[in-house]
Amino acid sequence: MSDHPGLAGNPGQWPKAVFYVAILFSAYQIIGAAFHPFSSQVLRAGHVGFVLLMVYLCFPMRGQGRPWTPLAWALGLAGLGTAIYQWYFEAELIQRSGDLTSFDMVVGVTLLVLVFEAARRVMGLALPIICGCFLAYGLFGEHLPGDLAHRGYDFDQIINQLSFGTEGFYGTPTYVSGTYIFLFILFGAFLEQAGMIRLFTDFAMGMFGHKTGGPAKVSVVTSALMGTITGSGVANVVTTGQFTIPLMKRFGYRGTFAAAVEASASMGSQIMPPIMGAVAFIMAETINVPYVEIAKAALIPALLWFGSIFWTVHLEAQRLKLTGLPKEECPDPFAAIKQRWYLLIPLGVLVYLLFAGFTPMFSGTVGLALTAIVILGTAIVMRASNLWLKIAFWIALGLLSSGFLKFGIGVVFGVIALLVAGCFYVKGGRETLRACVWALADGARHAIPVAVACILVGVIIGVVSLTGIATTFAGYIMAIGKDNLFLSLVLTMLTCLVLGMGIPTIPNYIITSAIAAPALLELGVPLIVSHMFVFYFGLMADLTPPVALACFAAGSIAKENGLRISLWSVRIAACGFVVPFMAVYDPALLMQGDDWGAILYMLIKSVFAVGLWGMAVVGYFSAPMRAWERLLVFAAGASLVIPASVFSYDLLGLYSVTTDEIGFLVAAVVIALHVLRARRQPAMAAA
C-alpha cells in the first residue's frame, strides 16, 4: 500500500486532500458505530462510497503515476455519489424495490463499473476476473447445458440484486467490513502509533532473543502478539519482518528459511485468538454464531500452528549450532512492560468484552475509545508532577472501563473531548494529538484492501443467492466423492488452494464457504467445522506456490526468491495442512462438545504429531537423523492424524490395535534408538 503515491510514507506526508478524506472516512465509521445515526443500508452505502473515493484518489490507473487528477476526483466523487443517492432516496428505493427507474439503473451500473475498476487498481486482475465470471453466469447462465443452466435473469434484475438491497455490493461482507473490521483496524492503528509494536518486540527480544536460535523465536512470538492488533498476515510480514528477517540472517539463518519463518508465523496471526483476522468476523456473521465460538474453535489449531513453527526453528538452530544474541544486548522484557503497561488496558478490556458475549461492534467501539483515552490521558497525566493526580486518573480510567455500559458512549466521547482540549496545554500534548490524527488516517489506509475485497465479492454472493449455483456445485462434490468424506475434503482443499493463487483470504473464504462448505455440511461435518476447514486452506493458499503473497512480501525484505521461500513455508507450516482434516474427523480439536477428556487427548496427540513432523522436516533431534528415522517419525505422526475410530488392526485376533497406538509406539521406539545413538557418538569419538 505504501508504494502508491497517494499513500506514501506516514500520513503527514500525504496530499492534503487524501489526508482529510481519510480522516472523514474514519470519523464517519466511528460515528456510525458509536451512535447509529443511519440505517444499516445507508451505513453500508457510505462505507462503499468512501472506499471508492479513497481508492480513486490514491491508486493510479496504471503504474506509479499521480492518481489525484481531475478524472480521479470525478470517479471518486461518483462513487461517493452512489452512497448519497442511497441515503437521500432510501424510502423511495424501499418502496419500489425490484422496480428500478432509469436513474436507478444509471446509479447501479455506475456502482458496478466503479467497484470492478477499484478492485483492479488495488488487487490486480485475478479477483475481478473471477467475479466477472460469476456476473457473466448470472447474465447468460440460462444458455449453459445440464444442471448448470438457470431460469434466466434480465439485466435490471442483476443490477437490482448487486447494487441495491443487501445481497450484492452491500451484503454481509460489506457490513462486517464497515463495522467490526474497520473498528479493529483503527484499534490496531492507534496502538501502533502509541508504541505497541515496540512493546511486543522488546518483550519478545527480552524473553527469547538470547536463547538458542533466538532471533527466529523472536519472529514467531512477535508475530503471534502482533496478531492481536493487526489480524492480517501480509501486514504482519511487512511490519515485523523489517526487523526480524535481517536479524535472523545476521545470526546464521539462510535468507529463504528466515523469510519462510516470518511468512508462516505472520499468516498464523489470522487464526490467533483473541483478535483474529477479518475472516473470523465475517464467519461469525455468516453462520450466525457469537465471535467467542469462532475464537474458541481456533484456539488449539492456532497454538499448534505457532508451536510447530517454534519447534522447527529450535531444531534448525540446534542443527546449525546457532546461538542467540548476547543477553546484555537484549532489552529487559519486564522493563518494557513497566514502561508501556497502560497500552494493555484497552486490549484487555476488548478481549474481556468479546469473550463476555458482547457484539464485536460494541467491543471494538469500547476498545477504540479506551485506547484514545489512555493515549491522551497519559500524555497529560504522565507529565504531571502531582502523584495524586496520576492516581486519580488511573482510578477514573478503571471505573470508566468497568462501568462502560452505565456511563454510555456519549459520556465516554465527552471525556475524550476534554482530554483533547487538555493536550493543548501540556508539553508534548500536541505531538500526541498529531499521532492520534495520523492513526485515524492510517486506519483508513489499512482498511482499503480489506474493504475492496469485501465489496467486490458481493457479486459472488448476489449471483449465488439468485441462481442457486451453490446447491448444484455441492451436488457435484458429493457425486464425485460418492459419500467419501476424505475425497470431498481433498477436493474442497484443492478448490481453496487454487482460488488462493490469485485472491486474498477474505474472498477465498467467501467463495468457498458459499459453494464448497454446504457440500461438507451435507456429508455430516458440523457447521463451524466445515467453515473453519475452508478458512484454514484459504489461509494456506498465501503460503503455497506458485502465488504465495506472504512469501513474496517476505522475499522482498530478505532479497530472496519468493518461490523458494514458499516451498520452505509449506514445510514449516505443515501442520496447517493436517489440522483441518483432524478437526473434521474429531471436532474435539476445535473444542466442540463438552467432553474435556476428549479435547485434552486430542491436544496431546496433536502436539506429539506436530513435534514428530518438525523432526522429520528438519532432520534433527538429539543429533542429525538418518533417512529411515525421518521416514518413520513422519509415518508415526501421520498415524496419529488418522482417526483411531476409523482405522484399527487386529493383532493375532487377540487385540485390536488403533492407529494412535501404532503411532505412539513407533515414535517412542525410533526416538529412543535415536537418543541412544546420539549419546554413543560422543563416547565413541572420545575413545
Instruction: Give tens-digit pLDDT for 615-636.
Output: 998 889 888 999 999 999 999 9
| Confidence at residue 2, expressed as pLDDT on a 0 to 100 scale | 42
Q: Is the dihedral of CA 613, 614, 615, 619 positive or negative?
A: positive
| Lowest mean pLDDT across 385-389, 518-522, 532-536 | 385-389
- Would you say residue 670 has pLDDT above 90? yes
| Confidence at residue 668, expressed as pLDDT on a 0 to 100 scale | 93
- Would you say residue 231 has pLDDT above 70? no
How many Å apart are CA 290 and CA 98, to the nearest integer? Answer: 33
- For residue range 575-626, list pLDDT tens digits in order: 778 888 888 888 888 988 778 888 888 888 888 988 998 899 888 988 899 9
How many Å apart are CA 366 and CA 406, to the nearest integer? Answer: 13
Helix 505-515 vs helix 126-140: angle between axes, to the nearest 10 degrees? 30
- Would you say residue 250 has pLDDT above 90? no
Angle at CA of residue 89, ends 81 and 17, nearest 5°: 20
| Confidence at residue 382, expressed as pLDDT on a 0 to 100 scale | 65
- Would you say residue 364 has pLDDT above 90? no
Please state whether the peptide bond connecting residue 546 to the residue before it is cis, i.e. omega within 30 degrees of 0: yes
Q: Radius of gyration (Cα) for the chain, nearest Å?
A: 27
How many Å apart are CA 188 and CA 112, to the nearest integer? Answer: 31
106 or 414, higher pLDDT: 106
What average pLDDT does the segment 482-506 reach? 75
pLDDT band at 521 (very low <50, low <70, confident <90, very high): confident
- Would you say residue 650 has pLDDT above 80? no
- Would you say residue 656 has pLDDT above 70? no
CB 565, CB 551: distance < 8 Å: yes
| Confidence at residue 678, expressed as pLDDT on a 0 to 100 scale | 87
CB 579, CB 536: distance < 8 Å: yes
| Confidence at residue 685, expressed as pLDDT on a 0 to 100 scale | 52
Helix 429-456 vs helix 40-58: angle between axes, to the nearest 10 degrees? 100
The label of the residue with cell 512493546 reads: 199
Greatest mean pLDDT among 134-143, 213-222, 358-367, 677-686? 134-143
Question: Which amino acid is it at 633?
Answer: V
- Would you say residue 1 has pLDDT above 50? no
CB neighbours of residue 148 within 10 Å: 15
Which helix (H) or strand (E) segment holds residue 323: the answer is: none
| Confidence at residue 417, expressed as pLDDT on a 0 to 100 scale | 79
Mean pLDDT, all residues of the chain: 82
| Lowest mean pLDDT across 115-119, 569-573, 625-629 | 569-573
| Confidence at residue 649, expressed as pLDDT on a 0 to 100 scale | 54
What average pLDDT does the segment 560-580 reach? 83
- Would you say residue 346 has pLDDT above 70? yes
- Residue 299 CA: distances (Å) to CA of 91, 427, 576, 582, 603: 44, 44, 13, 14, 11
Percent of the chain with pLDDT over 90: 16
pLDDT band at 188 (very low <50, low <70, confident <90, very high): confident
pLDDT band at 95 (very low <50, low <70, confident <90, very high): confident
- Would you say residue 113 has pLDDT above 90? yes
| Confidence at residue 3, expressed as pLDDT on a 0 to 100 scale | 45
86 or 486, higher pLDDT: 86
- Would you say residue 651 has pLDDT above 70? no
What is the SS3 string spanning 397-450? HHHHHHCHHHHHHHHHHHHHHHHHHHHCCCCCHHHHHHHHHHHHHHHHHHHHHH
What average pLDDT does the segment 412-417 reach? 74
CB 44, CB 178: distance < 8 Å: yes
230 or 190, higher pLDDT: 190
Strand 655-658 to 648-651 pairing: antiparallel
- Residue 320 CA: distances (Å) to CA of 230, 253, 349, 392: 33, 8, 43, 54
| Confidence at residue 563, expressed as pLDDT on a 0 to 100 scale | 80
597 or 423, higher pLDDT: 597
For 211, phi then psi, to 5°, come to -80, 175
- Picking from 45, 50, 53, the residue whose alpha carbon sits closest to that of residue 72 is 53
- Residue 653 CA: distances (Å) to CA of 647, 656, 657: 16, 8, 10
Give the ranges where 424-516 is alpha helix by DSSP (H).
429-456, 458-467, 469-481, 485-499, 505-515
| Confidence at residue 400, expressed as pLDDT on a 0 to 100 scale | 60
What average pLDDT does the segment 379-388 reach? 64
How many Å apart are CA 225 and CA 343, to the nearest integer? Answer: 13
475 or 405, higher pLDDT: 475
The label of the residue with cell 473531548 reads: 417
| Lowest mean pLDDT across 52-56, 217-221, 497-501 | 497-501
- Would you say residue 337 has pLDDT above 70? yes
How many Å apart are CA 257 and CA 315, to the nearest integer? Answer: 13
| Confidence at residue 81, expressed as pLDDT on a 0 to 100 scale | 96
The label of the residue with cell 498415524 reads: 639
What share of residues in the chain are helix, strand, coil (percent, to 5)?
A: 75, 0, 20
- For residue range 12-35, list pLDDT tens digits in order: 778 888 899 999 999 999 988 888
What average pLDDT does the segment 287-294 reach? 88
Which helix (H) or strand (E) segment holds residue 381: the answer is: helix 360-381
| Confidence at residue 513, expressed as pLDDT on a 0 to 100 scale | 80
- Would you say residue 76 has pLDDT above 70? yes
Q: What is the DSSP string of 26-95?
A: HHHHHHHHHH--S-HHHHHHHHHHHHHHHHHHHS-SSTT----SHHHHHHHHHHHHHHHHHHHTHHHHHH
